[in-house]
Structures are given as structure tokens and as C-alpha cells.
Amino acid sequence: MTSTRIPLFALDTAARLWFVVTLAGQLMFGAYIVALYGGAIARGDPARWNAVMTHGHVAGATAGNAAVAVHLLLAAVIMLGGALQLVPGLRTALPRLHRWNGRMYLLGAVLAAISGLYMMWWRGAVGDLIQHIGTSINALLVLLCAYQALRHALARRIDAHRRWALRLFLCVSGVWFFRVGLMCWIALNGGPAGFDPATFTGPALSVLAYAQYLAPLLVLEIYLRARRNAQPAGQVAAAALVMFSTGLIAVGVAVATVGMWLPQLGGGATN
């Protein structure tokens, strides 16, 4: 390998590691959703949703409960579907699967965004107005990215389609990034800092409501630009940024897995 190729190799290696860590964390989160919410339905105890979600299940509110159920089901499905879309070997070996999974992913992302907006503004959610606006922008970005990814795919502009598909994946993962980011913040501070756990409000959560999608999108844009036309020094800097992002995600995934997700998979108490 020539010295001019080393920075690009480092950048690609950092991106692959980011994907592996993110995939592992999202699969764990998806399993947690199925175990908690699906398990409650299987046991005939939908009220258990309220253990970790305010207004998760409201007796007599059939339409609202159905919207929540659809949102949760889609969250679990698109966690796997989105990861499959990003596997290069799968796109090459099974292009038909890639296309059909992509269509289902797009539809699921749009429905999840719409149902999420309904749940937040009409059903009720924790947090304050600043957080709700930030999360709503995330949902609107999901709709925008889904439209752009589909538009470029239909026009056979594959490079543009892939860039928008990556942006869609990050925006769809906003809720996951919020949880992982929050767990990383708590771990680094040795406990809750900058917010009130009782009311779930505070400056740290206000920032995180926007950083959950803006930070990943910024890292992605830096990576894409470095991948296309940056000088070796720029590619090394981008690789370092991706690795730093991966480290933060790994900390958040580890804390969330031990503190929230594994206890539920093992049938223990929820957090």
C-alpha cells in the first residue's frame, strides 16, 4: 500500500468500525423493543408500556394505542432493514432484496415519522417544548431524506441516492442516537448532569434533542467530502473524527445495554 493510500484506508477502516458498532447497538435496541413492548402484548399486559413511556397505553384510546403500536413495530423493523441497506456485499449479491428492502424501509421510515409526530403533539411525551421542536425537526428531515432518496433512485442517480439514503439512515436513527448519547453523557459525568431526571428537562437534553441528528449528519458530510476530494491530511482528520464518534457511540451502547436493554431481555426490571 502506497503512502498516498494510507489516509484513505484509515478513513474507510474508521467508517467500517463505526458501522459495526452502530449495527450491534441498533440490533440490541431492536431486541429490547421486541422484548419489552412485544412481550407486554404477548402477556396481555399492554399497560406495561407505561413503565418506560409516558402515555404508552391509555385505556379506551384505541386509535392512539394503535398508533403507538405501529410506531414501536416499525422502530424494531427499520433497525434491521436500515442496517441491511448499508451492507455493500448485499447490494451487489442480492440487488432485488436491496431494492425491496429499501422500499419497505422508506415506507416504514415515513410511517414511523408521522406516527411519532402524532404521539408527541397529540398523545403526549416527556420533555419540554424545546425538545419537542427538535425531535419534530428530526421527523421532518426523515420525510425529506426519504423523498430525496426515492427521487434519485427512480432517476437512476445512484451516487446521489446513496448519499441521501445515508442521511435517511442517520435521521431515522435519531431516537437511538438520543438514547445512546444520553447514556454516554451520564457515564462521562458519573451520573445525571445538566438535566432533571424527574421532569426530564434541562439544557443537556435540549442540546441533545438537536444533536441527535445534527451531529451524525455533520460527521457524515465531513466523511463524504473527505472520501471524494480531500487531501491526505484532511482524510486523516476525518478518520480521527469518525473514530472519536465511534468511541462515544460505543460508550453509550455499552451503558445502555447493561443498564437498560439487557435487563429487559433477561426479564429483569426496566429503566
Reported as a single tens digit per residue, the pLDDT across 106-115 is 998 998 898 8
Q: Contact 180/253 with Cβ under 8 angstroms?
A: yes
What pLDDT sits at residue 1?
58
Q: Please give the grid coordinates belonging to residue 41.
A: 402484548
Give me the mean pLDDT over the 39-56 stretch: 62
Q: Which residue has the higher pLDDT, 211 or 40?
A: 211
Query: Is 206 within a domain?
Result: yes
Query: Is 130 within a domain?
Result: yes
C-alpha angle 66/72/73, rounded to 5°? 90
Query: Is 2 within a domain?
Result: no
Query: Is 246 within a domain?
Result: yes
Query: Is 98 within a domain?
Result: yes
Q: Which structural domain, as residue segments, surrounds residue 224? A: 9-265
pLDDT for 268 beyond 60: no
What pLDDT sits at residue 254?
96
Give me the long-range contacts of 85-91 (CB less than 8 A, separation at least 24): 85/165, 85/169, 86/19, 86/166, 86/169
Q: How many angstroms separate the Cα of 21 from the Cα of each of 2, 15, 100, 107, 250?
A: 28, 10, 25, 25, 6
To 10 degrees, what angle do helices 95-118 and 158-172 make? 40
pLDDT for 44 beyond 60: yes
Report how many domains make up the chain: 1
What pLDDT sits at residue 67?
67
Query: Is 45 within a domain?
Result: yes
Q: Amino acid letter at 157?
A: R
pLDDT for 271 beyond 50: no
> Within 10 Å of residue 45's Cβ, how many Cβ atoms?
11
Span between the terminal Cα atoms of the chain, in Å: 49
Query: Is 270 within a domain?
Result: no
Q: Please give the grid coordinates belonging to residue 131.
A: 425538545
The pTM score is: 0.86
pLDDT for 183 beyond 70: yes
CA distance linking residue 245 with residue 233, whole number of Å? 18
Q: Give the contacts of 77 (CB within 8 A, at least 6 positions apart).
A: 104, 108
Reported as a single tens digit per residue, the pLDDT across 120-168 is 887 767 789 999 999 999 999 999 999 999 999 999 999 999 999 999 9
Query: Is 3 within a domain?
Result: no
Least confident of 30-34, 42-46, 59-63, 265-269: 265-269
Q: For residue 4, what pLDDT band results from cuts at 50, 70 and 90?
A: low
At which residue does the C-alpha cell 447514556 appear?
A: 183
Least confident of 155-159, 194-198, 266-270: 266-270
